[in-house]
Amino acid sequence: MPRLVKILISAVVVVSLTFLLGWSSVFTVKKVEFAGITNPIQILAVEKKTGNLNGVKLARIEPRQIANTIESVNWVKSADVSRNWFSSSVTITIDARVPIGIFGGRYIDSTGAVFDPIGTQAEVPMVTAPNAEVGLLAIELFTSLPEDFRQNITSLRARSAADFSVAIKGPNKELILRLGSADDKELKIKVFKALAALDENKNISTIDVSAPHAPIVK
């Protein structure tokens, strides 16, 4: 076959493929699927960031660029976008941040990231702290406490990285437990339980075990 004919055939193939992938309706997005999230409010929030992808040419979909756009949503920890040429579909996989506390009216996750509670409601404690870093330390303390003790905590307060207190729901009213630092927390909880169980302490409002060998009740 003459060299010129081969060149012409190659050019025709390239032009045809370019048209087929970039302009023809054959390879257009017919379906957008989501993985990792099922909440319709969260899905709608992601769709607002990506725009309507249905009908867009698959060749014009830039997976990394779209993923970067989605990751600008503060409750999204990471995102991945993939194209399927056979089914003409796009799959968007979302790794959503998991709240472990409420800080300043917003959620906080295990990395210390603060994000908006869109489409979710989590039974997590309220955290009061001067900043997210100290708030995260309070959450770390909370998650390290025994489950049977932790489930009665309604809020945490951190004045600093070494001054923690928690509000604990009791049979009649809340009781404030001042822990001080996170050190010796097992001993501090043991002292707290012993003091809270005494009849003479049924009307107290605060137990300070920051110095567990010299606790203070008020």
- pLDDT (tens digit per residue) in 6-46: 554 554 444 444 544 445 555 789 999 999 999 999 999 99
Question: Would you list the DSSP string of 81-115?
Answer: EEEETTTTEEEEEEEEPPP-EEETTEEE-TTS-EE
Which residues in the chain are classed under CATH 3.40.50.11690? 101-217
What residues contact residue 138 under an 8 Å CB cut-off, 6+ apart? 101, 127, 129, 156, 157, 158, 164
**Can you identify the CATH homologous superfamily of domain 101-217?**
Cell division protein FtsQ/DivIB (3.40.50.11690)
The closest of 174, 166, 171 to 144, measured between CA atoms, is 166
CATH topology classification for 27-96: Ubiquitin-like (UB roll) (3.10.20)
- pLDDT (tens digit per residue) in 69-116: 999 999 999 999 999 988 999 999 999 998 888 888 889 888 888 898
Is-above-0.75 flag for pTM? no
- pLDDT (tens digit per residue) in 131-186: 888 988 888 888 888 888 888 888 999 999 999 999 998 777 889 999 999 999 99
Which residues in the chain are classed under CATH 3.10.20.310? 27-96
Distance CA 134, CA 58 (A): 46
